[in-house]
Chains A and B, each alone.
Chain A
Amino acid sequence: MQISKRFSFGWKRSQLIFASAMVLPAVIILAVLFVYPLFLAVKISFYNIHTILGGDKFVGFKNYIEILQDADFWGALWRTVVWTVVVLAVQLVLGILIALLLNEDLVGKTIARGLILSPWLVPAIVAAIVWRYMFNPMLGIFNYILFDVTHILHKPFMWLADPKMALWAIIIVGIWKWLPFMVIMFLARIQSISIDLYDAAKVDGANAWQQFWNVTFPWLSPTIVVAMLLRSIWLFNHFDLVYLMAYGGPVKSTTTLSLLVRDLVFADMKMGKASALSMIMTVLMVVLAIIYFYYYARAEEKLGY
């Protein structure tokens, strides 16, 4: 069999067959668990289907049109973007800073590296319950410290009960919960940077900031892009913490796209419409992934890969 040079990557035929066979089980699993459900979801999105009672009425693009004309969708999209961008940005900056700190030879470094994982280890439901009590305007510790003790606040913050504040309160929890992931990703990459590069920079008279900008950051760039891609997808699709903290309220002020999907399925009983919304979310994520992969390739190129 003639395998074109375009796809052979310079491998022998036997090597290519061997490699293909190795990935075949994963491809089959992917096809069964991802491709088939995806096709099913796409199909459902064109039908009017009651969550419990079923149905098979073809409605074409009606579900998509209704969603795009629904103010709830645009509101949820905006909140999802805010949630994703803010959590990601803060985690990025804090993740790099903490990783740099943990890379230094400080006393208690090992313990600190272990402790930094603890938010990630806590189940979302436990985190949500604890934080909800901490945010409680009358009984919570935050208001107690900020209002009763230090008088920084002139009146108690309503946190999760204030529609303007609720999403920001959840963002705080989101940042806390998954910061360890970023720290671990960046720390691992930082530890792989050769000391020689820093020595060379020092010889050239580079200060700490210049060392970071010209040595650390370029090496971190591919990892940053990967971390951003993964976190963006997870945040964009995230459900459990946002739901458990405020159940989409008050007055839908914390209803993100994933919660809107849930509402469509279980409250409005519109499985078809929920599927359409899921497809819209998928398209947005694919576009985002394409952008990320473009910048990942560029970052790799700069490092000479």
Chain B
Amino acid sequence: MSSKRNVLLISIIIIMSIMMASCQPTVIEKEVEVEKIVRQTVVVEKEVQVEKEVEVMVEVTPVPAALPEGMTQIVPFISDEDAPDAVKLHRDIIEGYEAEHPDVDIDLVLIPHGSEMTRRIMTSMAVGADAGMTLIEESTLPDFIEAGWLLPLDDVVEEIGRDRFKPQSILEFHGHVYAIGYSGGTNSTLWIRKDMFDEAGLEPPTTYEELLAAAKALTRDLDGDGNIDVYGFSQRAGPGLPTTTSFAAFLYQNCGDWYDKEGNVVFDKPQVLEAINRFVALSEYSPPDAISWGWGEGISAYLAGKVAMHMYGGRLGNNAFDAAPEIRANSMVIPWVVGENIPEGWPAVGRGSWDYIAITSTVKFPDAAKEFLTFYFNSDAIPRLMMSTPGHILAPTFGAEEEFWALQETEPNDYVTQYGDDVQMLFDIGKYDADPSVNMGYVNTDTCEIKWEYNPVPWGGTLWGGSPTVDAEMLQMILVEGKSPEEAWQWEIDELNRVADEWKAEHPDWKP
């Protein structure tokens, strides 16, 4: 029995030792410089000079752990570019880079497009996992930077050449670049079934009134059973960002905005109610289930011939070319006009979404990550990515569009060959788009002047980073719950004020 006990005790010790050893975290040494900044503040009431010493933690490029000889530097690259062509392109680029840098392994981690990228990053950062290089949503940038989750990329931008980047494709905060745009997308275009328009004797709409009239005329019961078979329009009104994207055009084009440049709510201006009413009116000619649509359902409905018009970027044309070429042949893409506040010479105004790459502060090998990022932008990755879905991906750098067309000359793409004019039009329209989370005060709601300036909304993550977005929730109050537009509008005004005030109370030193 005692020998049995000894064997048992030894076994337990071995098992527990293995368990304890496997639970040891990997220690990565980081050096963090602490800067002391002395500021002077003045208390107005008593005119007393007060010196305030502020310690600012500045996260500099971490010193990577010493790598044992022969070991590879692994850099995760989290991407939601899951279209087959884009995946192949990225794999090819990575292969080419690794051939020149055999000690580096870029680990491409794919997650479904438009899904849980932000949540994935938040979870990874919370547990200190190496999130490497990752795509990032602009609305969450201020929070991520404040939390120290992102590395400054000033050196990367300088290496690539700052002048090469379009203003919208660099995200700066407190004087440092934290994210670089690698693709943009316009949402100010409308795809219409030209054959349905011709059949009804209608011209492509150039004003909101024409759009509404066309939507009404093209909503039809084809077989006389009392149920609508084809809807004139397809208005996304689900809980997510696609609805904010649709709504942004109505807001901007009717001289509305969420906040002014100083972060004060201007959503209470009367023209905003007009924008809401126009959105709601157009929704009447949309499929009833559009209140649950995200990005893809409208495309499916359009390709199935169930709707006559759908607002989307270039991807719809590409999908139609692949899946329903006869519908593509009978389609045309035009600027999406839903208001009168469009500057002279501009085709349209709406929300443009950009995809950005950032490097997280938990990356184990920051130098390798930055080198790859530099390589990515200095290679032909951008024009090739644009070619993977022609017309949908806008160039983040000057010259990339010319490289795209040069690539078309040497490696012609069938879609571009046939619909090159549409592709160019999509490229052109995207230049005028803005995003509510990074272009605070895009529209001067007093003068209706539109001016693109990078001015992030620090509390934007709460409003547009989750689901439902604040606009989606407001619009669903009207479309689903049957509340009046005035009631729903007032709710959003209150919500915009509440979120902003709460954030400002916690950040009293903030200046826009």
Contacts and interface: CB of A to CB of B under 8 A. Distances in A.
A and B interact physically: yes
Interface in A14-70: 14, 17-18, 21, 24-25, 28-29, 32, 50-54
A160 B289 contact: yes
B284 to A, nearest CB: 15
Contacts of B227: 147, 155-156
A78 B287 CA distance: 30
A14 B1 contact: yes
Contact of A250 (B1, B292, B301, B462): B292
Interface in A138-179: 138-139, 147, 155-156, 158-161, 163, 166
Contacts of B118: 266
A21 B476 contact: no
Given A51-B122, A250-B476, A268-B462, A137 B288 contact: yes
Interface in B102-153: 118-119, 122, 126, 140, 143-144, 146-147, 149
Contact of B477 (A52, A54, A251): A251
B147 A52 contact: yes
A154 B511 CA distance: 58
A50 B147 CA distance: 10
Contacts of A136: 289, 297, 300
A269 interface: yes
B304 A138 contact: yes
A248 interface: yes
B2 to A, nearest CB: 10
Contact of B476 (A18, A251, A269): A251
Interface string B46-64: 0000000000000000000
Contacts of B300: 136, 139
B149 A267 contact: no
A138 B140 CA distance: 35
B418 interface: no
Given A32-B23, A52-B143, A138 B122 contact: no
B39 interface: no
A139 B304 contact: yes
Contact of A139 (B16, B301, B476, B481): B301
A246 interface: yes
Contact of B19 (A25, A54, A137): A25
Interface residues of B, number: 46
Range, interface on chain A: 35 or more
Contacts of A160: 289, 292
Contacts of B149: 52
Contacts of B126: 51
A249 interface: yes
Contacts of A137: 287-289
Contact of B462 (A54, A155, A267): A267
A230 to B, nearest CB: 27
B147 A138 contact: no
B143 A251 contact: no
A97 to B, nearest CB: 34
B466 interface: yes
A268 B466 contact: yes
Nearest to B477: A251
- Chain B CB within 10 Å, residue with most, of A137, A138, A160, A163: A138
Q: Is the interface of B mostly helix, strand, loop or mixed?
A: helix
A158 B122 contact: no
Nearest to A259: B467
A51 B293 CA distance: 28
Contacts of A131: none
Given A53-B143, A158-B289, A160-B292, A138 B306 contact: yes
Contacts of B473: 251
A161 B289 contact: yes
B291 interface: yes
B468 interface: yes
Contacts of B143: 50, 52-53, 269
Given A54-B147, A247-B239, A21 B480 contact: no
Nearest to A166: B292
Contacts of B462: 267-269
B292 A249 contact: yes
B237 to A, nearest CB: 9
B32 interface: no
B476 A249 contact: yes
A160 B297 CA distance: 13
A160 B287 CA distance: 13
Contacts of B288: 137, 158, 161
Interface in B206-254: 226-227, 238-240
A165 to B, nearest CB: 11
Contacts of A268: 462, 466
Interface in B287-318: 287-292, 294, 297, 300-301, 304, 306
B365 to A, nearest CB: 24
B461 interface: yes
Q: Which 6 A-B pairs have the closest CB atoms?
A: A267-B466, A161-B289, A52-B143, A249-B239, A161-B292, A137-B289
Interface of A: 14, 17-18, 21, 24-25, 28-29, 32, 50-54, 136-139, 147, 155-156, 158-161, 163, 166, 246-251, 263, 266-269
Given A53-B147, A139-B306, 11 more contacts: A18-B8, A24-B12, A29-B19, A51-B126, A52-B146, A136-B289, A138-B301, A161-B291, A250-B239, A250-B476, A267-B462
8 contacts: A137-B287, A138-B306, A139-B306, A246-B292, A250-B291, A266-B466, A267-B466, A269-B143
